[in-house]
Amino acid sequence: MAPESPPTSALSLRDVVALSGRFPLLAGVDLQVGVGETVLVEGPNGAGKTSLLRVAAGLVPVASGRVTVLGLDPARHRTEVRRRVGLLAHASHLYDDLNVRENVRFAVKAAGADASRIEGACERLGLTGRLLRTGAAKLSAGQRRRVALAVLVARAPEIWLLDEPHAGLDASARSLLNEIIVEATAGGATAIVVSHEPELVESMATRSITITGGRVTGERRLNSVPARFVHVA
Of 1-9, 21-29, 165-173, 174-182, the window that binds another protein (rule: CB under 8 A) is 21-29
Residue 97 vs residues 33, 48, 136, 143, 146: alpha-carbon distances, Å: 38, 33, 7, 16, 18
Element (H, E) at 174: helix 171-186
The closest of 124, 113, 62 to 84, measured between CA atoms, is 113
Site size toward another protein, by CB under 8 A: 53
Does 115 contact another protein by CB under 8 A? no
Q: Up-side HSE of residue 133: CA atoms within 13 Å toward CB?
A: 2
Of 5-13, 110-118, 174-182, 186-194, the window that binds another protein (rule: CB under 8 A) is 110-118
**Which burial class, exposed, middle or buried, applies to 201 when counting CB atoms under 10 A from its CB (0-12, 13-18, 19+)?**
buried
For residues 143 and 30, give the distance between their C-alpha atoms in angstroms, rounded to a whole number. 35
Does 65 contact another protein by CB under 8 A? yes
Name the minimum Å distance from CB 64 to another protein: 4
Residues shown for the chain = 233
Does 138 contact another protein by CB under 8 A? no
Q: Which is nearer to another protein, 198 or 213 (CB)?
A: 213
Q: Which of 3, 6, 7, 59 binds another protein (CB under 8 A)?
A: 59
Does 114 contact another protein by CB under 8 A? no
CA angle 110, 122, 106 (to 5 degrees): 20
Convert residues 75-104 into a mask of x (bound to another protein by CB under 8 A) and - (unbound): ---xxxxxx---x-xxxxxxxxxx---x--
**Which chain residues interact with another protein by CB under 8 A?**
14-15, 17, 19-24, 27-28, 30, 44, 46-47, 57, 59, 61, 63-66, 78-83, 87, 89-98, 102, 106-107, 109-112, 135, 144, 212-215, 217
